Structure formats: structure tokens, C-alpha cells
Amino acid sequence: MKASTLLSVFITLQTVSALPYEWSWLKNAQSVLSFSSNKPCLIKLGPIEYAVVSEEEKLQLKREKINFIDVTSHISVEEAIQKGSVLKQGEFDSVLQLAISSNDEEPVAAYNYPQKAKHEKNVVPFFKDIDVESMKSNLNNFTSFYTRYYKSKTGFESALWLQGKINEIIPANAVKKGITVTPVDHQEWDQFSLVVTIPGKGYTSTEKGPIVIIGSHQDSVNLLFPNAMPAPGADDNGSGTVTCLEVLRLLAEQYSTGEFAPENTLEFHFYSAEEGGCLGSIDVFTRYKIAGEEVFGMLQQDMTGYTAKVTSEGVENHLGLITDYTTSFLNNFVKLMIDTYCNIPYHESSCGYACSDHSSAISNGFPASFVIESEFKYISGYIHSIRDTVDKIDWDHVVEHVKLTIGFAYELSHAKVIKTKD
């Protein structure tokens, strides 16, 4: 596509913002023109469906709302061809090379999750301390970066800001008691993931024991020109990031005083490069699998703040519980948490394969759930563009996600669960 054509598309699709911000992308024109790459990538379009594609084809798939996990760093294209997972290495700027192989995903372990909430007297008091103004401030700062695209300079800078904010909200005494903040270097791009570990009783940040994970992705993308266009990413996924930051702040404060003392290790993950094909999370969970870690529950928070379409359609306000490519037994526990701790109900919905980072947990055999802002048909239509801005966030709705996440984290980190199936 010629630059003049790209410019026409830009003008057509993204003319709603202030002129100086809108046209600052021209400073990055060289990035736009050099975006093309013939480097082959191996992606998973389903549990047994692979494709060899170029970076440009990855971008086009995202534009067409086709999700995938990029496993190039873990399975080479050559290895996949030898195994018969893909037919051949072909021309990467032409038709995708697809094939079906045997299912090489790990079977997801099953656990006997609690059938009722046991810690309401400890969880509910947190709710009065939820600080909406702090979340607003965090989101304003997070969206002030030109883009949080994982390959960009500002994507790296936003990760540094996030690391600093996490260190700021964790009390010094909580650090002395064992909380750690670990950046995960992915080597092939600069934006790093972050893992915050709150050790369970008798465990450490290196000897973790059973692990409960709260996940969100920190990156954003503008699908028109990822390397050049602004991508504030307020809802996707600034909202999920500040949701998890607030839960971390509340629990870390009580951990520092001894009021919160989990039996099981609790972690908060802030993944890099979800928009590139769950790159950060697949790296993290693959490492966990290789290390023999036991993750018995993961909850993903991705897009927690948009309700305008639900309102305009006359639908009751609700949380969207994703039921496809998630773990049904853990979903039942999530339903219990929503019924117990939230003021709005859940609606079941689906989003397809690899629609967020929970897919990386599932792919490595770890049970995972995903709760989004609404049924998938009502989610924000502004994501992946310059129009995904803070003014569209419903903060009362974000608070409901915070309540759910506190309940999930507290109850499951104190639960005595038994694995019933490997």
C-alpha cells in the first residue's frame, strides 16, 4: 500500500482528535515506511491450528479481529515444519500456510475450588477503601504515553513508569516481609513484563508453592500504524491495569501490617506485548511450566471500564464472564465471587481463541478465567485507536471489577485446594 493511500485511510478513520496530537505521527513516518518485515512468525490460531506469517500478516489478522498466540520464541518455524505442525515455509506475504497437528497443549489441571465464600468479613471492609481518584490519576498518567506499543520507545518508558508506581504503592514493611517486584526481560523487544509476588505462608519468591495469579496486560496498540500512531489505550488495557494496581495496593497495605497473610502465594502479573499475540504472557507461563510451578488459578482483567453500549442498548449493567477457552470449574468459582461481592450480575459470553492473556495460562496447562467489562458484543468499539480515551471510562463499573478481583485474590489465596486431575 502506498504512503498516499495510507494517509487517506488515516484521515478517514481517525480524524476525531485534536490536530497537534493527531498529526504528531508524521514525526514517526520513517517507522511507518520501515514497518514491513519478512521475518517469519509461528502463530497459534487454535489449540491445534498453526500458521507461519509475516509481521504484516499478524497485524492484518488483528485488524480482522482474528486472535492468536505468537509462539515463535518457543517453537521455531523450522521445528514446526519438521513436526508437521505447518505444511511448509512458503511466501510470508501471501496466503497463510495452515495445517492441523495433534494437540500439543498441556491438559489443564483440575482442582476442587471452594463452593462458598469463607472470608466475607475480611474482604468486604476493603471496599470502603477503594480509591477511585487514585485510579483516575493512574490512568491519566498511563494514557499520557504516546503509545504503549511493545516495540516502541514509549512502550518501554510506560513499563518503567508502571514499575515505579508498583514500587511506590507497596509499603516498605511489605517488602521487608517478602513482597518482590520482578521485571521479566523478553529479550526480543524492550517492554518488559512485571511479576509482583506475595509469598504464601512458609514460601518465598523463589520457592513459591501453589500460586494464584491476577493478570492484566500493560501495552496498547493503534492498529492503523502501530509504530507511529497514538494509542492511549484507556480501556484496552489501561482500565484492567489500574484495576489490578488498586487491588495490589489494598492487599499490600494489609500484608505489611499482618492483616493479610495468604496461605498460598499470590502474584500480580502485568504482561507486555499482549497485542502482539500474547507474547509476554506466553513467555511467562512457558517459563513457569518449565520451572515446574503450580498455578491453580489465574484471573485476567482486560478492559474493565466501558459501559456506554450496554446502556444505549437498554441492557442491565453486568460483568462479562468468558466461557470459551477458559476453565469451567474455575469459572464456577468466579461466578461465586461475583454473586458474593459485586453489586451487578455476570453474563456469560465468548471471545474466541487467544482473546487475552488467560490463553497463555491455558496453553501451558494452568486453569484460568477471564472477566471483561460486558458481554463481548457490547465491549468498546474504540479500542486499538486514538479514540480509546479516559473520558469513556465508567468508574463505578471499574469498582465492580476491583471488588471481584479482591474477592478472588483473597478467597483463593486462603483456600485449601486439592488437585483432582493432572
pLDDT digits (tens, 9 = 90+) for 317-330: 999 999 999 999 99
Alpha-carbon 284 to chain mean position: 12
Given a cut of 50, is residue 5 above it in pLDDT?
Answer: no
| Whether residue 163 sits in one domain with residue 83 | no
Give domain status of residue 105, yes or no: no
Examine the domain organization and report whether 232 and 96 are in the same domain.
no
The pLDDT value recorded for residue 8 is: 41
DSSP code of residue 227: T
How far apart CA 240 and CA 2 sit, in angstroms, is 36
In which region does residue 202 sit, left (phi positive, over 0), alpha (psi from -120 to 50) or beta (all else)?
Answer: left
What is the torsion angle, in degrees rounded to the nearest 10, for the CA atoms of residue 116, residue 119, residue 124 and residue 125? Answer: 180
Residues 122 and 217 in one domain: yes
Cell of 289: 511450566
Q: Which of 16, 25, 68, 4 is nearest to 225 (CA)?
A: 25
How many independent structural domains does the chain possess? 2
Question: What are the tens digits of pLDDT across the range 96-152?
Answer: 444 444 456 779 999 999 999 999 999 999 999 999 999 999 999 999 999 999 999
Residues 338 and 254 placed together within one structural domain of the fold: yes
Judge if 269 and 356 occupy the same domain. Answer: yes
Rounded Cα distance, 137 and 156, in Å: 20
Same domain for 222 and 79?
no
- 76: in domain: yes
Based on the domain organization, do 139 and 89 belong to the same domain? no
Is 338 a member of any domain?
yes
Judge if the upstream peptide bond of residue 237 is cis by omega within 30 degrees of 0: yes
Asked whether residue 159 is domain-assigned, the answer is yes
DSSP 331-342: HHHHHHHHHHH-
What pLDDT, in 10s, does the model give residues 378-408?
Answer: 999 999 999 999 999 999 999 999 999 999 9
Using CA atoms, how far apart are residues 145 and 143, in angstroms rounded to an integer?
5
3-state SS class at 385: coil
**Same-domain check for residues 331 and 302:** yes
- In terms of residue numbers, what domain contains 51? 15-100
Q: Are residues 114 and 85 in the same domain?
A: no
Claim to verify: residue 114 and residue 90 sit in the same structural domain: no
Q: pLDDT by residue (tens digit) across 15-40? A: 444 334 444 444 443 343 334 456 78
Query: Letter for the amino acid at 343?
Result: N
Q: Has residue 83 been placed in a domain? A: yes
What is the pLDDT of the chain when averaged over all its residues? Answer: 89
Q: What is the pLDDT of residues 149-167, one digit of tens each?
A: 999 999 999 999 999 999 9
Q: Are both 298 and 227 inside the same structural domain?
A: yes
Residue 279 counted as domain residue: yes
* Angle of the 240-257 helix axis to the 132-142 helix axis, nearest 10: 130
Sheet holding 49-53, edge to edge: 69-70, 41-46, 49-53, 97-100
Task: Tell me if 413 is assigned to some domain.
Answer: yes
Structural domain includes residue 2: no
Asked whether residue 199 falls in the same domain as residue 300, the answer is: yes
